[in-house]
Chain A
């Protein structure tokens, strides 16, 4: 964490504003994902509609973070940890925007599902959702606290989410064979599982950016070590 202030108060203000917008994006994205999945599980069409509409605000914030980040680079030419903080904030916002898109995708498919009789297999989604959201919250927490250990732990958790997705897909394909009339519904559930798996990927990306910001280490595209 930054121990003391920059000589230029305007730099501290600009960096704080950038960071606040990223955190606002994170809050809105989390809310959208929650509304989309709750809309699915409770067959609440209105919640899904709100989740879809909220994406506009996340998109606008992404543009604002990019604009402020470029402005900050242009005006202050930051180096070392300052530069890493600006770069990681901009990369975070991109990942958060993509997560917001996943919320929209889930909400759209939930709306389609709610037009037909409920499928009990929708329950496959809930554990995946809890796992993905726990990854999401921890990745943002790691970024905020510059907690390298917490961030590093995200990669193996993403692997677990991938396996949950593979399991859910396998079980849904089995159901399709038994009940071809509900094929469209099972396909939508498979897509939703896939969107949650992508949420885990973005959370992992955020964790990687958190490590870069805190420790100047690039941990992307590294194989998982045994035992993790």
Chain B
């Protein structure tokens, strides 16, 4: 029987690090031969809020089953780009992609034929502040399954347990599944939100500063969870915490003023970045 969290066969397993950005090539972060291994392919992407262009010619390949961190100062466009990956920006009036494309597993996600609900099921999102529904722990996770038309109780039970186990929360809540999600600590609520995202069997999980409101212990638990999840999911994380980016990610992209400045292996980025702007930012000499 196929379980709800079985890893789809479409996953491409790759450990190939992204090619470093070649400044002479207009900050392109990919080469064609690498594209086949990338689950997300962003090409020459421009994005604007009305007349205000906030992303400029972003080209980036994100490999499957790895953690990719987006870093950069506030307003550099990293969260906007993250939200482009599951079309969350569709909800903002006047916000639009003005050029370029984003393909996930080879499909242009902005194609009129793409079902946005299906896209967001495949590309889950965890936000800066945990946002559980005002429901029980169980129902928080079952919600997305029920929306997807799954009504069989045994299937939902199985998915709830599996999601909670995958988010390292099961042992802490198994005896109180039917109490409100609001009763959990901040760190537990964030892991509940991750479990909720996992329940609908995504390929990709987007995380927008998932630990910014958490204490160091809760942060460590979420980081450990990210480490475990990357064997099965592609994770893209926006973080302002350089140390966190260094700890959890396999590759890091640095953005500044809406442009991708550098994209490389995280170790390389934090030990010997290729671009002066990256060095200045990560060492705290920016501006």
Residues from chain B with a CB closer than 8 A to the CB of A5 are 285
Residues from chain A with a CB closer than 8 A to the CB of B10 are none
Cα-based distance from A82 to B282 in the complex (angstroms)? 10
Asked if A81 contacts B279 (CB within 8 A), the reply is yes
Asked if B287 contacts A7 (CB within 8 A), the reply is yes
Interface residues of A in 69-114 (CB under 8 A from B): 77-84
Cα-based distance from A82 to B284 in the complex (angstroms)? 10
Asked if B273 contacts A11 (CB within 8 A), the reply is no
Count of residues in B whose CB is under 8 Å from the partner chain: 15
B150 CB within 8 Å of chain A: no
Task: Give the shortest distance, in Å, between B261 (CB) and chain A (any CB).
Answer: 14
Residues from chain B with a CB closer than 8 A to the CB of A2 are 285
Residues from chain A with a CB closer than 8 A to the CB of B279 are 80-81
Mostly helix, strand, loop or mixed at chain A's interface?
Answer: loop
Asked if A79 contacts B242 (CB within 8 A), the reply is yes
Asked if B271 contacts A78 (CB within 8 A), the reply is no
Cα-based distance from A78 to B283 in the complex (angstroms)? 7
Residues from chain A with a CB closer than 8 A to the CB of B246 are 79
Residues from chain B with a CB closer than 8 A to the CB of A80 are 270-273, 279, 282-283
Asked if B272 contacts A7 (CB within 8 A), the reply is no
Interface membership of chain A positions 1-23, coded 1 if the CB is closer than 8 angstroms to chain B and 0 otherwise: 01111111001000000000000
Q: Which of B243, B282, B285, B287 has the most CB of A within 10 A?
A: B285
Asked if B282 contacts A7 (CB within 8 A), the reply is no
Say which residue of A3, A11, A84, A216 sits within 8 Å of B284 (CB atoms).
Answer: A11
Q: Closest chain A residue to B243 by CB distance?
A: A77
Count of residues in A whose CB is under 8 Å from the partner chain: 17
Interface residues of B in 256-286 (CB under 8 A from A): 270-273, 279-280, 282-286
Task: Give the shortest distance, in Å, between A219 (CB) and chain B (any CB).
Answer: 14
Q: Which of B242, B279, B284 has the most CB of A within 10 A?
A: B284
Cα-based distance from A205 to B88 in the complex (angstroms)? 54
Cα-based distance from A216 to B272 in the complex (angstroms)? 6
Asked if A83 contacts B285 (CB within 8 A), the reply is no
Task: Give the shortest distance, in Å, between B253 (CB) and chain A (any CB).
Answer: 16
Interface residues of A in 161-183 (CB under 8 A from B): none
Asked if A7 contacts B284 (CB within 8 A), the reply is yes
Task: Give the shortest distance, in Å, between B72 (CB) and chain A (any CB).
Answer: 15
Say which residue of A6, A77, A216 sits within 8 Å of B285 (CB atoms).
Answer: A6
Task: Give the shortest distance, in Å, between A83 (CB) and chain B (any CB).
Answer: 7
Question: A7 and B271 in contact (CB under 8 A), knowing A79-B246, A81-B279?
Answer: no
Asked if A79 contacts B287 (CB within 8 A), the reply is no
Interface residues of B in 124-179 (CB under 8 A from A): none
Residues from chain A with a CB closer than 8 A to the CB of B242 are 77, 79
Cα-based distance from A201 to B34 in the complex (angstroms)? 45
Asked if B284 contacts A8 (CB within 8 A), the reply is yes
Residues from chain B with a CB closer than 8 A to the CB of A4 are 280, 285
Cα-based distance from A47 to B111 in the complex (angstroms)? 84
Q: Which of A8, A80, A216 has the most CB of B within 10 A?
A: A80
Interface residues of A in 30-85 (CB under 8 A from B): 77-84
Interface residues of B in 102-117 (CB under 8 A from A): none
Residues from chain B with a CB closer than 8 A to the CB of A6 are 283-285
Q: Closest chain A residue to B270 by CB distance?
A: A79
Task: Give the shortest distance, in Å, between A142 (CB) and chain B (any CB).
Answer: 18
Task: Give the shortest distance, in Å, between B286 (CB) and chain A (any CB).
Answer: 7
Residues from chain B with a CB closer than 8 A to the CB of A82 are 283
Task: Give the shortest distance, in Å, between B71 (CB) and chain A (any CB).
Answer: 11
Residues from chain B with a CB closer than 8 A to the CB of A7 are 284-287
Cα-based distance from A7 to B73 in the complex (angstroms)? 14
Cα-based distance from A111 to B283 in the complex (angstroms)? 50
Asked if A216 contacts B271 (CB within 8 A), the reply is yes
Q: Which of B246, B272, B273, B282 has the most CB of A within 10 A?
A: B272
Q: Closest chain A residue to B287 by CB distance?
A: A7
Residues from chain A with a CB closer than 8 A to the CB of B272 are 80-81, 84, 216
Question: Known pairs A4-B280, A77-B243, A79-B270. 11 more at Cβ < 8 A?
Answer: A4-B285, A6-B284, A7-B284, A7-B285, A79-B246, A79-B282, A80-B271, A81-B279, A82-B283, A83-B271, A216-B272
A-B CB contact pairs (8 Å), 29 listed:
A2-B285, A3-B285, A4-B280, A5-B285, A6-B283, A6-B285, A7-B284, A7-B286, A7-B287, A8-B284, A77-B242, A77-B243, A79-B246, A79-B270, A79-B271, A79-B283, A80-B270, A80-B271, A80-B273, A80-B279, A80-B282, A81-B272, A81-B279, A81-B283, A82-B283, A83-B270, A83-B271, A84-B271, A84-B272
Ranked 10 nearest A-B pairs via Cβ: A216-B272, A79-B270, A82-B283, A7-B284, A6-B284, A79-B282, A80-B283, A80-B279, A6-B285, A77-B243
A interface residue numbers (CB < 8 A to B): 2-8, 11, 77-84, 216
